[in-house]
Amino acid sequence: MRTENRVLCSLIFFLTFFIAFNVVNGEDPYRFFTWKVTSGPIYPMGIRQQGILINGQFPGPKIDTVTNDNLIISVYNYLTEPFLITWNGIQQRRNSWQDGVYGTNCPIPPGKNFTYALQMKDQIGSFFYFPSLGMHKAAGGFGGINIYSRPRIPVPFPHPAGDFTLLAGDWFKRSPRAILDSGHNLPFPDGLLINGQGWNGNTFTVNQGQTYRFRISNVGLATSINFRIQGHTMKLIEVEGSHTLQSMYTSLDIHLGQSYSVLVTANQRPWDYYITVSSRFTKPVLTTTAILHYSNSWGKVSGPPPGGPTVQIDSSLSQARSIRWNLTASGPRPNPQGSYHYGMIKPSRTIRLANNAPVINGNKDMRLTGVFGVGSIPDSPTWGSGYLKTSVMHADFRSY
């Protein structure tokens, strides 16, 4: 009898809790966006190029959002060819058909529109979006996505005095699409850009003594980059939605598609300093700069920008290994981020993937070999000749 009562009590307690929680929580907020995608002139390297603009902007508008927000983004395609946007790093829980890649999303035909409905469910951090079809990314159409923590969730660092987004990466003066379509490899890039601009095209103004968050993404097509700020160190705080152990770095390698957040304190004498991005593992080394400007600055940048690592691989690997999750910091929820003991999980299967560049229908095509067909992934690459098919990985819930 007593046990039964206790069971009943806890049941009622749980039900009350459940209902109260749901009522109090309500529905998560909505944010609405209307994006007009057009083709227009841009001059990122001093010469006129045909770029992809979103609401007339290159790079596209930044999305500022909060954990669990619903984003309703209506994309109107005014280009003369099909267009899709993918949301790099957004998890799309139970929502994979909004991911904007060919195969799960139909391209938006020219002159038509499509409304993406995305939820930033249980996510925080720095990400970016980019066009996923036809090498459009080489012409623009990308932009930053910042998911801020909900107001009451503790963040493992003091609120920064400012929050800057830097979309950096390699750039081609001539669209590489025609070159790939003629069966050739991607050429060497012509330069690097920061937020769509070349040398000293961007200025980030800071107040002496204050600390700022810089979110840096590599939005390029071909090269890893190294990021550094003359005379300043960076405290790494977040990598793609996870708070990290807060180590100091004088420079950071950022590989294609990655996003990092660092805190930088303006603790040097009031001056202007180079923010430098250079290509990694390439010869020659491409470099571009922006300006870190102290509001009370006494002088402009002069001389060459500070050098950084170039072709060395070991330092890059050890840096990557130094980046760790802070398992006790909060993530999108107040609880610690990690409770998985990854090192102790026994792998049940190992799949080796290889990238390859076969020529298909006369076009150069970059893809993974041996990933085609539902449930037919071999353990090792098959190295066969290439053919086109949608890649589908057969996996059960939590089996990977």
Ligand X SMILES: *[C@@H]1O[C@H](CO)[C@@H](O)[C@H](O)[C@H]1NC(C)=O
Binding site for ligand X (CB under 6 A): 113, 156, 245-246, 326, 328-329
The residue number with the shortest CB distance to ligand X is 156
Instruction: State the Cα–Cα distance between residues 320 and 225, nearest whole angstrom.
Output: 13
Closest approach, Cβ 113 to ligand X, in A, equals: 4
Shortest distance, CB of residue 325 to ligand X, whole angstroms? 9
Q: Cβ 153 to ligand X, closest distance in Å?
A: 11
CA-to-CA distance for 174 and 161, rounded, in angstroms? 39
C-beta closer to ligand X: residue 153 or 179: 153
- Residue 256 CB partners (closer than 8 Å, separation 6+): 169, 218, 220, 221, 222, 223, 224
Question: Nearer to ligand X by C-beta: 72 or 357?
Answer: 72
Give the nearest distance from C-beta 392 to ligand X in angstroms: 27
Structure tokens at 317: 């690997």
Report, in Å, the least distance between residue 333 CB and ligand X.
14
Nearer to ligand X, 38 or 268 (CB): 38
Q: Would you call 278 helix, strand, or coil by DSSP?
A: strand
Of residues 334 and 373, the one with the C-beta less far from ligand X = 334
Regarding beta strands 49-54 and 70-77, do their DSSP bridges make them parallel or antiparallel, or are they unpaired? Answer: unpaired
What is the smallest separation between the CB atom of 80 and ligand X, expressed in angstroms? 16
Q: Which is nearer to ligand X, 247 or 382 (CB)?
A: 247
Tokens at residue 326, please? Answer: 């802070």
Least gap, CB of 268 to ligand X (angstroms)? 24
CA distance 64 to 266: 24
Nearest to 248 by CA among 240, 239, 236: 236
Closest CB to ligand X among 264 and 277?
Answer: 264
**Residue ranges of the alpha helices (H) in the chain?**
2-25, 176-181, 314-322
C-alpha to C-alpha distance for 129 and 137, rounded to whole angstroms: 10
- HSE-up of 57 (CA within 13 Å, CB side)? 11
Token reading at 92: 């799309």
Q: By C-beta, is 328 or 391 nearer to ligand X? A: 328
